[in-house]
Amino acid sequence: MNEIQKAKIITTTLNKIYPRIVVPLKSRNVFTLLISVLLSAQCTDVNVNNVTKKIYPKYYTPHHFKKLGRKKIEKLIKKIGIFRIKAKSIFHLSKILIEKYNGKVPKSFEDLEKLPGVGHKTASVVMSQGFGYPAFPIDTHIHRLAQRWGLTNGKSVEQTEKDLKRLFPKNKWNKLHLQIIYYGREYCKARDCYGLTCKICTTCYPNRKKPLITKKA
């Protein structure tokens, strides 16, 4: 079975399981989406949502967070991993958005990736989920599953992104990356399946006998 055939099986299976997809991180606007994605580094979406549901009703613009200041932001997000570093990034990026972008989140990868605490994955999520621009953010689930499904060699996150963009139509990226994340959380977990038991793994590799060890993101 070649990559194109596997890609079709994956798309069909995921569309049956997840015909409609919900963005896992809760947000009020594009700015709060940016903050939530930044907070989600080394932290679960559930934990982020539990924290931000107490923040966003009152604070949801760069001006709000600039006025709060770094120490108060720290107190608001203290249940999040590496909260001091994230608070510093949130405070400074809020100032930059006000000073350079009139309080708006920029609509380009280049400008987003210049903001404190914002890497390519965070920028990709904001471009995809915030602005509807075709992007393929690669998280640990997608990186793991792409290897189990034989779509990439796992050399790097950058390589995985290139391989998936090559195999799947551009107009499917935004929905597909979320479908793969949900599938990785429910059916093809890090400490489960190992390329041997879930529907997609067994369909793509019916004769696989040994657990597949994947490279981490």
Average pLDDT over residues 25-40: 98
What is Dmax (Cα atoms) for the chain? 59
Cβ contacts of 213 within 8 Å, gap of 6 or more: 194
Domains and CATH numbers, the chain: 3-21+136-204 (1.10.1670.10), 30-130 (1.10.340.30)
List Cα–Cα distances, 195 to 63, 66, 160, in angstroms: 47, 47, 17
Condensed to tens digits (0 to 9), the pLDDT of residues 126-157 reads 999 999 999 999 999 999 999 999 999 989 99
- pLDDT at position 46 is 96
Condensed to tens digits (0 to 9), the pLDDT of residues 157-174 reads 999 999 999 999 999 999
Cβ contacts of 106 within 8 Å, gap of 6 or more: 112
pTM for this prediction: 0.93
Q: Does residue 216 surpass a pLDDT of 90?
A: no
Condensed to tens digits (0 to 9), the pLDDT of residues 33-64 reads 999 999 999 899 999 999 999 999 999 999 99
Q: How far apart are CA 52 and CA 171, in angstroms?
A: 30
Catalytic positions, written as ranges: 121, 139
